[in-house]
């Protein structure tokens, strides 16, 4: 009769690698193969291109708004990975027009380091979020390729938006190749730093935050950000939705 597996209950509650066992001084062969497969998924998430046409169609359906497409100064994926600074700036020929009365919110959907995350979750999150922002003037969604979070500052400033929300593919982990992050910034403009943003991460049902939960938290943060005219370290996660 084999000994009981003391780690079984913990493994059922997390995707983290716990209680893997050993074969001599190494991991069991099955666990090594699973680790190699997870590494391959993470690499694929970084290098796979975003299907912009399909994503734009889903975003248009979710928002009821036309979708704008832009790119960063990074010419391709290789340059994007080697030159993070280029992913933070819009390409020189980008044309974005501010609305006649400005916008309360600009939404930027950026491929980031996991196009898979954006492809899988951005439209679902937006569909859950926009009904919670009834009465807001929301600009047409912007899809940005070879883009990092700070690119949203440039987009928001050019659109004349009071704040910007960037939905971006987060750096893949060995158990999460499809994690979506949402970064909100009040008063977007060039030169902002990460401490001036708020982030809701690990949006990836069923293993991370659900769209409804993430949308509830984001709506509360956005509303409080607009009320107080700030974001970042001074905007704390308080209230029932942020618990």
Q: What share of the chain has pLDDT > 70, as a percent? A: 91
Whether residue 124 lies inside any domain: the answer is yes
Residue 95 marked in a binding site: no
Model pLDDT for residues 5-21, shown as the tens digit of each residue: 777 777 777 777 776 77
Rg (CA), the chain: 20
Euclidean distance between CA atoms 41 and 129, whole angstroms: 29
Whether residue 41 lies inside any domain: the answer is no
Whether residue 19 lies inside any domain: the answer is no
Euclidean distance between CA atoms 120 and 55, whole angstroms: 9
Whether residue 127 lies inside any domain: the answer is yes
Number of domains making up the chain: 1
Whether residue 117 lies inside any domain: the answer is yes
| Contacts for 90 with CB less than 8 Å, ≥ 6 apart | 70, 71, 72, 73, 96, 151, 154, 155, 158
Q: Would you state the structure tokens that stand for residue 176, as one six-digit string?
A: 């999460």
Looking at residue 50, what DSSP letter applies? P
3-state helix, strand, coil in the chain (%, to 5): 40, 20, 40
Handedness of CA 40, 45, 49, 51 (dihedral sign): positive
CATH number at residue 98: 3.40.50.11240
Mean pLDDT of 66-89: 95
* Per-residue pLDDT band at 243 (split at 50, 70, 90): very low
Query: pTM of the full predicted structure?
Result: 0.85
Euclidean distance between CA atoms 227 and 222, whole angstroms: 9
Euclidean distance between CA atoms 39 and 35, whole angstroms: 6
Instruction: Please answer whether residues 60 and 66 qualify as being in contact, where contact means their C-beta atoms are separated by less than 8 angstroms.
Output: yes
pLDDT top residue among 231 and 174: 231
Output the CA–CA distances (angstroms, integers) from residue 233 to 8, 14, 133, in the order listed.
39, 29, 23
Model pLDDT for residues 187-218, shown as the tens digit of each residue: 999 899 999 999 999 999 998 999 999 999 99
Residue 170 marked in a binding site: yes
Whether residue 158 lies inside any domain: the answer is yes
Whether residue 175 lies inside any domain: the answer is yes
pLDDT top residue among 97 and 21: 97
Q: Determine the structural domain holding residue 65 and report its residue range.
A: 52-242
Bridge partners, 197 (sequence order): 185
- 3-class DSSP state for residue 100? coil
Euclidean distance between CA atoms 187 and 220, whole angstroms: 17
103-110, strands of its sheet edge to edge: 68-71, 142-145, 103-110, 161-169, 180-186, 197-203
User: At residue 154, does pLDDT exceed 50?
Assistant: yes
Whether residue 105 lies inside any domain: the answer is yes
User: At residue 242, does pLDDT exceed 50?
Assistant: no
């Amino acid at each position: 009769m084999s000994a009981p597996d003391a780690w079984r209950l913990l493994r059922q509650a997390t995707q983290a690698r716990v209680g893997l066992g050993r074969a001599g001084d190494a991991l069991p062969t099955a666990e090594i193969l699973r680790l190699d497969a997870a590494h391959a998924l993470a690499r694929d998430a970084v290098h796979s291109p975003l299907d912009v046409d399909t994503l734009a169609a889903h975003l248009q359906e979710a928002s009821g708004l036309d979708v704008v497409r832009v790119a960063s100064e990074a010419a391709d994926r290789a340059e994007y990975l080697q030159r993070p600074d280029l992913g933070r700036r819009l390409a020189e020929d980008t044309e974005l027009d501010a609305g006649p009365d400005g916008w309360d919110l600009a939404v930027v959907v950026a491929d980031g380091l996991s196009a898979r995350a954006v492809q899988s979750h951005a439209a679902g999150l937006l569909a859950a979020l926009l009904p919670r922002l009834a009465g807001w003037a929301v600009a047409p969604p912007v899809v940005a390729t070879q883009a990092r979070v700070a690119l949203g500052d440039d987009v928001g400033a050019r659109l004349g938006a009071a704040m910007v929300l960037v939905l971006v593919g987060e750096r893949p982990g060995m158990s999460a190749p499809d994690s979506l992050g949402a970064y909100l910034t009040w008063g977007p403009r060039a030169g902002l730093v990460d401490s001036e943003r708020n982030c809701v991460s690990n949006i990836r049902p069923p293993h991370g935050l659900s769209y409804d939960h993430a949308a509830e938290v984001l709506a509360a943060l956005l509303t409080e950000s607009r009320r107080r005219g700030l974001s970042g370290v001074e905007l704390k996660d308080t209230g029932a939705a942020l618990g």
